[in-house]
Amino acid sequence: MRQLELFSDGLVEGWRAEDVIAEVALKEAGFGLSYAVEEVEGVDGQTVHRVTDPDLDASFFLCLDDTLALEPLAPLGLDRDMLFVCRASALDDDTAANLALQCRLRVI
């Protein structure tokens, strides 16, 4: 049972949001070191960051919360071209399916 618990979350114990954001920006999105991070306002109950690379004129959204709901994400205006990154353990099947239909969903 302990082995299954180890695979329930893709983040290692003691993780820091800044480190996860940096890794995703560099490895997943292909951003350079000049990326900027801002917390998105108006997303009730969820902490969502917008990560932007001014050199690429590109951005993505990232949420590292333990749980994720669709309704609070509506103000983001997600569309098929937008990348949204979150923890796999934060999604239930319905939320994952709906998000995948709205945007380019990546889970960590």
What is the pairing mode between strands 48-53 and 58-63?
antiparallel
Per-residue pLDDT of the chain (108 residues; tens, 9 = 90+): 444 444 456 687 889 999 999 999 999 999 999 999 999 999 999 999 999 999 999 999 999 999 999 999 999 999 999 999 999 999 999 999 999 999 999 999
Please give the span between the terminal C-alpha atoms of the chain, in angstroms, as a whole number: 21
The pLDDT, as a whole number, for residue 11 is 81
Beta-bridge mates of residue 69 = none
How much is the pTM? 0.89
The pLDDT, as a whole number, for residue 5 is 44
In what side-by-side order are the strands of the sheet with 104-107?
36-39, 48-53, 58-63, 83-86, 104-107
Side-chain-facing half-sphere of 77: CA atoms under 13 Å: 2
